[in-house]
Chain A
Amino acid sequence: MLNDMGFLWAVTAVVWLGMLAYAVVLMRRQRRLQQELESLRRALDQFNPPSR
């Protein structure tokens, strides 16, 4: 029975860790995207002064 519970825990861990890992990957991609977007916006503002 203890062994059975081991498999059950393993399954739970796989599901939760899998989802969390994907969420972390999403968040990291998001942060990188956001940073790059902002730096590009700033760069663009240098070229086009806000007086436009």
Chain B
Amino acid sequence: MQSRAGWPVWLSIAAGAVMFVHLYLAFVWSPPEQHMGNLVRIMYFHVPSAWNAFFAFFVTFVCAILYLRRRRLVYDLVSAASAEIGVLFTSITLVTGSLWARPIWNTWWTWDPRLTTTLILWFLYAGYFLLRASIDGRERRARVSAVFAIVAFADVPVIHMSVEWWRSIHPLAVDETGFNMPGSMAATLMFGFVAFMCLYGLFLALRVRQQRQAMELHELREAVRAARVRQEGQV
């Protein structure tokens, strides 16, 4: 038990250290931009959290498919845990985006396709948790929420393509020509992505472990109940 309790601590310390390095790179090492000045540094938080949100929902999507194919509950656990962290990252993306839009576009919110589709994404996965919370039976919940997760994921490519399909004021950080920015900024951005990915991995591992323990708890409860009934029967 002691050895199993160890890894979350070490992983948390490592993730925290990486986040501090990211802070240094974002605030000190990377240069300010010509037009936006220091505000460009918001990008190093906003863009990696968006990418990680999409990645988290991708994991949810893949695990949902795997669950429907293999019918092992662990895929459902990973799927749900990943969606939860995805919602966290999406919330952060929306809030930081709003805080960035205020000084740059002079508005907190605008009905830009990319913003709108990202907000829809948030609502879709909020609905996913409502759905999960209101279905009884592990297998049935896993099955129904897997189907919904697969359908909801369709929004992620739509967000990606929305900039090209409809006119958008949202800038493209990365397109088919590569990074539209100097090397040091691109490196910081990529480091931010890695740093947030470390956090994602940590959260996912912790959350999945919790879900497993919750299942164990459920079984223990049943066992205690059964033992109690047996004892009362003997008396």
Q: Tell me, rounded to whole Å, the shortest Cβ–Cβ distance linking B154 to chain A.
A: 26
A8 engages B203 (CB within 8 Å): no
How many residue pairs link A and B with beta carbons under 8 A? The number is 83
Q: Which of B19, B100, B203, B221 contacts A26 (CB 8 A)?
A: B203
Q: How many angstroms between the C-alpha atoms of A29 and B217 in the bound complex?
A: 13
What 0/1 pattern do residues 146 to 180 of B give for CB contact below 8 A with A?
A: 00000000000000000000000000000000000
Q: Are B102 and A36 in contact (CB under 8 A)?
A: no
Q: Kindly state the separation between the CA atoms of A48 and B227 in the bound complex, as whole angstroms.
A: 8
Q: A4-B37, A33-B213, A47-B227 are in contact. Are A12 and B45 (CB under 8 A)?
A: yes
Any A CB within 8 A of the CB of B130: no
A41, B45: Cα distance in complex, Å: 44
Chain A interface (Cβ within 8 Å of chain B)?
Answer: 1, 3-5, 7-8, 10-12, 14-16, 18-19, 22-23, 26, 29-30, 33-34, 36-37, 40-41, 43-44, 47-48
Chain B residues near A (Cβ < 8 Å): 12, 19, 23, 37-39, 41-42, 45-46, 49, 85, 88, 91-92, 95-96, 99-100, 102-103, 199, 203, 206-207, 210, 213-214, 216-217, 220-221, 223-224, 227-228, 230-231
**21 A-B pairs (CB sep. < 8 Å):** A4-B38, A4-B103, A7-B103, A10-B99, A11-B96, A11-B100, A12-B23, A14-B45, A15-B49, A15-B92, A18-B91, A19-B88, A22-B85, A26-B203, A33-B213, A37-B216, A37-B220, A44-B224, A47-B224, A47-B228, A47-B231
